[in-house]
Structure 1
Amino acid sequence: MSYQPVPTVRRRRLGSTLRKLRTEAGMTLDAAAEALNATANGSPGARHWTAPKLSRIENANATIRTTEVEVLLRAYEVTDCEIRVALEGLAKDAGKRGWWQTYRGVVAPAYADYISLESDADSVRDYAPLVIPGLLQTSEYARETIAANARARSASEVSALAEVRLARQAVLTRADTPLRLWAVIHETALRRRFADRPAIMAEQLRRLLDVAEWPTVTLQVMPIDAAPNPGDAGAFTLVGFPGPMPDVVSQENLRGPTYVEGVDDVNVFVDAFGRIADSALSPDATKGLIADLV
């Protein structure tokens, strides 16, 4: 299996944000390059800026140093310290090797991109119509569902993927800034049964009851008798970031995750998730239903 060691989604987020800031400054690529070269003014080691180079950075086809991010922000007259820190951090981490790369033999590049997104995020909003979200799965539930959807994988690969799924859950208990998770799970997923191992689902339901008490987790169930709503179109995950970083949408299929990154397109999912949450049971009613199922 081929593996891309650089989590390119970080570059895309950085590039799209720099493009947004440039356009908000009312500058074309040519005008930006001219302003940047004037700012450099012969400084030692300064990059000679051209419109094609800027375009490659904005389209995630070239790297950019943190010092160059600072130069760009000055040219675009961006003075917000929060924006500067966020973008310089993203540039610094664009090629960072994450813990998941230990599993590069089984983790596909698109999945590695998603894990890097999740590790950078401060919030996740997840609509799960058929399967419990990975951040909330128990070990046995993860293993069984991975095995069912990865029939070509060996037993050792399934075990490795289950380990990765559980390791991802560390973002929920980070010491400084735990990830805020808002999950809406369809009742159908809660009523699934493992005929030969019924204890798997009982343990999973108890896990949901436990995390539903965490202050950083909001859990809702979409009841089977709910009226039609945007959730009928399928599962998706909204990944949110601190500061100026735009949200990213991930949609999972048998080939792995695909991404929606344009602001207008992402806003369609933001609106959809709000309507889904409005159609679901309240967190208190959700805990009551899960307790009954247990």
Structure 2
Amino acid sequence: MPHQPLEPTVRRRRLGQTLKKLRTGAGMTLEDAAAAMQWKVPKLSKIENARQQIRPAEVTALLRAYRVTDPEVFTALENLARDAGKKGWWQTYSGVVSPAYADYISLEDDAERICEWAPLAIPGLLQTAAYARETMTATGESRTAQEITALAEVRQSRQAVLTRPGHPLQLWAIIHEAALHTRFEVRPATMREQLRRLLDASELPNVTVQIMPLDSTAHPGLFGGFGLVSFPGPTPDVVLLENLNGATYVEGDGAQPFASAVERIRAAALSVEDALARIAQLEEGHRK
């Protein structure tokens, strides 16, 4: 049976949440807004709850009904409505990319900034192909060699957002020092190459890498890793939480505690200068 296209539903949720926030900010009930649009109430309710798509022209009309005047808001939400059903390059890998993973790649594609706290492994946007294959082989017990290779290709393709023309993704990664000491017995050079990759990526003006030292003070990151994804315009942040069962998302107001936690985690980590010196020291140690 052919695979069904993967729907980027996170985009619709972001759009629906933002439209609902603008409606309530305008002091309008669902009934008020539906009447202004000459819609039935269930239609607007389904749009706000991401169960129905909305055309860009309808977004424009809604924003006018909500008395929005900021042109950047119009542009951001019209583009989000236009892209809500767009299929990305990752659809080519639908046989190995789960719907939740596809959702996250679409978030990366839309994002303006990502702050990632990585206590156990190097963030995917900074991984070498060899590191990706080795770690996925170790953790993906039910994956075939061909699937691992495909997923490693996906991880490498995702990194194009860091060098996309005009508006490269701003990435701030805080990595626990323990993640820099992983041993790879089959291919020992993997970690050295990965450390070099971190140093090279740090030379990009839109990439910042910090290291959480082994002897750090206590901080909110002790509760586990996460990625805080931020977007242009008024759409809310989204937080990614990962584990062996896949990915889950924290959206809307639930993302705010993570934004606060990021600042405290940054403060507990080494400065950027000291972090790069630590990475370079470890990379040099692998050469001996």
Q: How does the TM-score come out when normalised to structure 1? A: 0.94
2:272 equivalent among 239, 261, 283: 283
Show the counterpart of 1:7: 8
Matched residue, 1:45: none
> Is 2:271 aligned against 1:270?
no
Q: Which runs of 5+ in 2 are unaligned?
A: 284-288
**Pairing 1:86-235 to 2, within 5 Å after superposition:** 86-235=76-225
Give the match for residue 36 of structure 2.
35
- Please give the per-residue CA displacement for 1:214-272, whole angstroms capped at 9, x wherever unaligned: 11111000000001111100110001101111110000111211000022x11100000
Matches of 1:108 and 1:3 in 2, distance apart?
11
**Runs of 5+ in structure 1 lacking a partner?**
38-48
| AA in 2 matched with 1:32 | A
Give the whole-Å Cα distance in 1 for the aligned partners of 2:281 and 2:157.
Answer: 29
CA contact (8 A) 2:126 2:198 kept: yes
CA–CA distance in 2 between the matches of 1:268 and 1:4? Answer: 34
Residues 40-59 of structure 1 correspond to what in structure 2 (within 5 A)?
Answer: 49-59=39-49
In the alignment, the residues of structure 1 paired with residue 204 and residue 243 of structure 2 have an alpha-carbon distance, to the nearest angstrom, of: 29
Return the letter of the residue paired with 1:288.
Answer: A
Distance, in Å, in 2 between the alignment partners of 1:136 and 1:177 is 18
Question: 1:44: which partner in 2?
Answer: none
In the aligned structure 1, how far is the partner of 2:187 from the partner of 2:85? 42
State TM-score, norm by structure 2: 0.96
Backbone CA RMSD of aligned residues: 1.1
Q: Deviations over 1:36-84 (max 9, x none)?
A: 22xxxxxxxxxxx011111100000001111111110111111111000
Mapped to 2, the partners of 1:189 and 1:5 lie a distance apart of 32
Residue identity over aligned pairs, in percent, reads 61
Q: Are 1:4 and 1:109, in contact at CA under 8 Å, matched by a contact in 2?
A: no
> What amino acid does structure 2 have at the position aligned with 1:52?
P
Find the aligned partners of 2:185 and 2:218 in 1 and give their Cα distance. 30
The Cα of 1:5 is off from its aligned counterpart by 2.0
Deviation at 1:4, TM superposition (A): 5.3
Which amino acid counterpart does residue 65 of structure 2 have in structure 1?
A
What's the counterpart of residue 257 of structure 1? 247
Task: State the match for 1:46 in structure 2.
Answer: none
In structure 2, distance between residues paired with 1:255 and 1:99 = 24
Q: In the alignment, is residue 61 of structure 1 matched against residue 58 of structure 2?
A: no
CA distance in 2, matches of 1:173, 1:71: 35
Kept in 1, the 8 Å contact 2:63–2:74? The answer is yes
SS in 1 for 2:6: coil
SS at match of 2:15: helix
Q: What are the Cα deviations for residues 170-208 of structure 1, in whole angstroms up to 9, with x where unaligned? A: 000001111000000000000111123210000000111
Is 1:78 paired with 2:68? yes
- 2:35 counterpart letter in structure 1: E
Distance change in 2, residues 1:4/1:260 (3 Å)? farther
> CA–CA distance in 2 between the matches of 1:128 and 1:3?
32
> Which amino acid letter does the alignment assign opposite residue 182 of structure 2?
R
Segments of 4+ in structure 1 off by > 6 A?
A: none
Q: String of CA shifts for 1:113-146, please: whole Å, max 9, x gaps.
A: 0000000001110000010000000010000111
Q: Contact 2:5–2:91 at 8 Å: present in 1 too? A: no
Q: Distance in 1 between matches of 2:182 and 2:4?
A: 34
Other-structure match for 1:245: 235
